[in-house]
Amino acid sequence: MWLLRTVFSLILFCISACNARIEFLPDGENLKPAKVGEPYYLKINILGGGVIGGPKKIAGLAIPDNNGIFLRHCQLPEWEVANMQPKDSNNYNCVEIYGTPIKNGEVKIIISGSMYGSMISSAREFSKNYKLQVIQP
């Protein structure tokens, strides 16, 4: 009986792993609003596998790009980077939105990239759009 239960659990695990989804935290479409002239900071975590990165990989786009809002990859803790060859301190599964907005309106945030494949799932692309409302205080 335990053998049957173990085999059944393994099959369910494999089926769920093959259908793994890419999720974003926070989910939804709207980010917490920003205020003109006040510093803004928010982290977006990408779940569902390892994001393909590299030295020329951009974190995403903020449109319009002249509003004082910028995107960058989060930094890994020093203990993870210490023995890494070559050293790359970026956490590609995390994007930081930061800056001080200079005018009110809507900023469109676009985050896109690709996930590494594995033995049970193929590599896949993702794209997520957010809306950031910048308001006058």
Which domains can be identified in the chain, with CATH numbers? 22-135 (2.60.40)
Q: For residue 4, what pLDDT is reported? A: 56
Rounded Cα gap, residues 53 and 51, in angstroms: 6
Given a contact cutoff of 8 angstroms between Cβ atoms, the answer to whether 97 and 40 are in contact is yes
Q: What is the pTM of this model?
A: 0.78
pLDDT tens digit sequence for 70-107: 999 998 888 777 777 777 788 899 999 999 999 999 99
Pick from 80, 62, 67: which is nearest to 129 by CA? 62
Helix (H) or strand (E) holding 8: helix 2-18
Helix (H) or strand (E) holding 6: helix 2-18
Residue 17 has pLDDT above 70, yes or no: no
pLDDT tens digit sequence for 22-68: 899 998 999 999 999 999 999 999 998 889 887 788 889 999 989 99
Give me the residue label for tokens 């890419």.
22
Q: For residue 79, what pLDDT is reported? A: 79
